Amino acid sequence: MTTRTARPVPPSVVRELLVTDDAGCPAVPHTDDEGGAPLRCCLRRSRPGERVALVSYAPLRRWAAGTGADPGAYDEQGPVFLHAGECAGPQGTDLPFTHAHRVLRRYSADGRILGGRLVGAPEDFAPALTEAFADPATALVHVRAVEYGCFLYEVRRAGPHDTPQP
């Protein structure tokens, strides 16, 4: 079975979003007093006292800009939490944020939604990703929160570019 890697928001994109996000707004960093925010830069929950920013991010739009795809109406942006400063990135290779129901949304190489699947148990994520990529039309998968539909991370088809970009 192929191991799939969760792709965080790349550090270069984080730096851009902390200046002006994908909605054209400046980031407003704050101290997370409670902790628990799902950070998309390092794919873990924030700890009390960390500086974070909630910004608007358009993951499919940014992917499409690099591939020449045109997602059309499927282009969307939404809120993501990031560290407000330097971030060490993900630690480990486990799929993050699998403790709750998630939607795996599949996209084609031209940026169109191919389908989605609700996944509930941590042990069901790897088989669901294997199933998603068994369809040769699947170029990437977004893992999203069920409650709000928020983007959590991306998984791409295995290949020479299947590592996070700096």
d(CA 158, CA 153): 15
d(CA 129, CA 4): 7
Residue 39 C-alpha from the chain's centroid: 10
For residue 55, the model assigns a pLDDT of 98
d(CA 78, CA 89): 21
The mean pLDDT value for 25-29 works out to 97
Whether residue 6 has pLDDT greater than 60: yes
For residue 33, the model assigns a pLDDT of 98
3-state DSSP percent of the chain in helix, strand and coil, to 5: 20, 30, 50
- pTM of the model as a whole: 0.90
Binned at pLDDT 50, 70 and 90, residue 3 comes out as: low
**4 vs 114, more confident:** 114
d(CA 113, CA 75): 10
